[in-house]
Amino acid sequence: MSTLNNQINQEQLTPTQRSQIRRIPQRSHYERQVIYQILDEGLICHVGFVVDNQPFVIPTAYGRVEDKLYIHGSPASRMLRSLLSGIEVCVTVTLLDGLVLARSAFHHSMNYRSVVIFGTATLVQDTDQKLEALRAFTEHIVPERWAEVRSPNRQELQGTLVLSLPITEASAKVRTGPPLDDEEDYSLPIWAGVLPLQLVASEAIPDSRLHTGINLPNSIRKYTGTEMTI
């Protein structure tokens, strides 16, 4: 949903051994612009890391500023403590755009856009950069929200770990369009097509302790009943 970072960026990332998409490579994209659009539209990432050869995949919020992906959390978090040791991380963001309903069971699929980022995360220690990251988290959820709310105080800043992951080794994979059936199946009397899906906001629920006279700000109102896309 972010309205930040909307500049066009035609730069292509160089695929590496681990970021190169091998299965159905025609769906792969390495342009920063494609990768950034998916990251900015997504709201949750899945963070993969390894402890004692055991993979963990944890969903969490994130923010992007230019070529950095920020994640954050409590110093007590196993995920953040593990990443702080400099281990490899894989962060994946997936947007589901539709169900692809073919004439055969075998060719059922989904339309989606996903980004996979590889790298190592580093602790953000500079206070200004930490504030920049916290601003990105808030603005990523609801643009213009940062200016409406109480800013983080010193205690909150100190009590939050912020990690930065460079978006340098990454790829996007995108499926769009209709089902692809076997040629002989097109004559079957079976409905086929796409059922588009969107994440949609319904009417905002005011907090029960909200004081009277505080209206829903436009920043939030404009998403009600609309797709959560930029």
Order across the sheet with 169-175: list the strands.
28-29, 169-175, 109-120, 88-101, 45-51, 54-60
Token pair listed for 14: 């160089």
Cβ 43 vs Cβ 143: under 8 Å: no
Q: How far is the CB of 84 from its own copies (least distance, A)?
A: 15
Q: How far is the CB of 172 from its own copies (least distance, A)?
A: 12
Q: How far is the CB of 184 from its own copies (least distance, A)?
A: 10
Query: What is the C-alpha end-to-end distance of the chain, expressed in Å?
Result: 5
User: Which is closer to its own copies, CB of 125 or CB of 203?
Assistant: 203
Q: What is the DSSP string of 24-93?
A: SGGGEE-BHHHHHHHHHH---EEEEEEETTEEEEEEE--EEETTEEEEEE-TT-HHHHHHHTT-EEEEEE
In whole angstroms, give the CA distance from residue 222 to residue 230: 11
Nearest distance in Å: CB 68, its own copies: 19
Measured from the CB atom, the residue of 30 and 58 that comes closer to its own copies is 58
Please identify, using beta-carbon distances, which residue of 11 and 50 lies nearer to its own copies: 50
List beta partners, residue 72.
162
Closer to its own copies by Cβ: residue 166 or 217: 217
Smallest separation (angstroms) from its own copies to the CB of 87: 8
Measured from the CB atom, is 5 or 171 closer to its own copies?
171
Say how many C-beta atoms besides its own lie within 10 A of residue 194's C-beta.
Answer: 17
